[in-house]
Chain A
Amino acid sequence: MANTRILAHEFEFIAPKSVAEVLDLLRRHGSRAKLMAGGTDLVVLMKMEKVAPEVIIHLAGIKELDYIRDEGGLRVGAGAKLSKIRAHCERDKRYLALYDAISSLGKPQVWNMGTMAGNLCTASPAADTAPPLLVYNGRVKLVSGSGERTLGLDAFFIGVNRTALAEGELLVEIQTDGVSERTGSAFMKMARVGADISKITCAVAVERDGSRCVSCRIAFGAVAPVPMRAKAAEALVRGAEVDEALLEKAGRQAAQEIKPIDDVRSTAEYRRDVARTLFKEVFSRAWARAEGEGT
Chain B
Amino acid sequence: MKKQRIHLIVNGEAHELWVEPNALLLNVLRDDLGLTGAKYACGLGQCGGCTVLMNGEAVLSCLVLAVAADGAQIQTVEGLVQPDGSLDRVQEAFLDHSAIQCGFCTPGMVMISKDLLSRNASPSEKEIREHIRGNICRCTGYNSIVRAVKSCAE
Partners in one complex: yes
Measured between alpha carbons, how far is A12 from B63 in the docked complex, in Å? 17
Given the contacts A7-B22, A9-B22, A107-B134, A44 and B59 also touching, CB distance less than 8 Å: no
A13, B67: Cα distance in complex, Å: 8
Which residue from chain B places its CB closest to the CB of A106 in the assembled complex?
A: B134
Stretch of A35-43, A155-163, A241-249 at the chain-chain interface: A35-43
Interface residues of B in 23-64 (CB under 8 A from A): 23-24, 27, 40, 42-46, 48, 51, 54, 57-60, 62-64
Interface of B is mostly: mixed
Q: Is the CB of B59 within 8 A of A113?
A: yes
A220 to B118, CA, bound (A): 35
In the bound complex, CA of A12 to CA of B67 (Å): 11
Are A11 and B64 touching (Cβ within 8 A)? no
B58, closest chain A residue (CB): A109
Q: Is A164 an interface residue (CB 8 A)?
A: no
Return chain B residues, CB-CB under 8 Å to A60: 68
CA distance A106 to B70 in the complex (A): 25
| Residues of A85-118 contacting chain B, CB below 8 A | 103, 106-110, 112-113
In Å, the complex CA distance between A109 and B59 comes to 5
How far does the alpha carbon of A107 sit from the alpha carbon of B48 in the complex, in Å?
9
Q: A11-B22, A107-B135, A109-B60 are in contact. List 13 more A-B contacts (CB 8 A).
A: A8-B22, A10-B21, A13-B67, A40-B60, A43-B45, A103-B130, A106-B134, A107-B133, A109-B59, A110-B60, A112-B54, A112-B57, A195-B134
In the bound complex, CA of A56 to CA of B45 (Å): 20
CB contact under 8 A between A5 and B131, given known A43-B63, A107-B48, A112-B59: no
A43 / chain B contacts, CB cutoff of 8 Å: 24, 45, 63-65
- Nearest CB in chain B to that of A108: its residue: B131
Contact B68 A58 (CB under 8 A): yes
Residues of A contacting B42 in the complex (Cβ-Cβ under 8 angstroms): 4
Contact check: which of B21, B43, B116, B129 meets A13 at CB < 8 Å?
A: B21
List B contacts of A175 (CB < 8 A): none
Which residues of A line the B interface, CB within 8 A? 4-13, 15, 36, 39-40, 43-44, 47-48, 56, 58, 60, 83, 103, 106-110, 112-113, 194-195
Chain B residue, CB-CB nearest to A46? B22
Q: How large is the interface on B (under 10, 10 to 19, 20 to 34, 35 or more residues)?
A: 35 or more
The CA of A12 and the CA of B1, in the complex, are separated in Å by 7
**B22 and A10 form a contact (CB under 8 A):** yes
Contact between B43 and A5 (Cβ–Cβ < 8 Å)?
yes
Query: Known interface pairs A39-B63, A56-B21. Does A109 touch B134 (Cβ–Cβ under 8 Å)?
Result: yes
24 A-B contacts (beta carbon < 8 Å): A4-B42, A7-B24, A7-B65, A9-B22, A10-B1, A10-B20, A10-B21, A13-B21, A15-B70, A36-B65, A39-B64, A44-B44, A47-B44, A56-B21, A56-B65, A103-B130, A106-B134, A107-B135, A108-B112, A108-B115, A109-B45, A109-B48, A109-B134, A112-B115
Tell me which of B4, B57, B68 contacts A36 (CB under 8 A). Answer: B68
Please indicate the chain A residues that have their CB under 8 angstroms from the CB of B51 in the complex. Answer: 109
With A6-B24, A56-B21: A44-B58 Cβ-Cβ less than 8 Å: no
How far, in Å, is B90 (CB) from chain A's closest CB?
16
A18 to chain B, nearest CB (A): 17
Contacting residues, chain B, for A58 (C-beta < 8 A): 65, 67-68
B66 → chain A, closest Cβ, in Å? 10
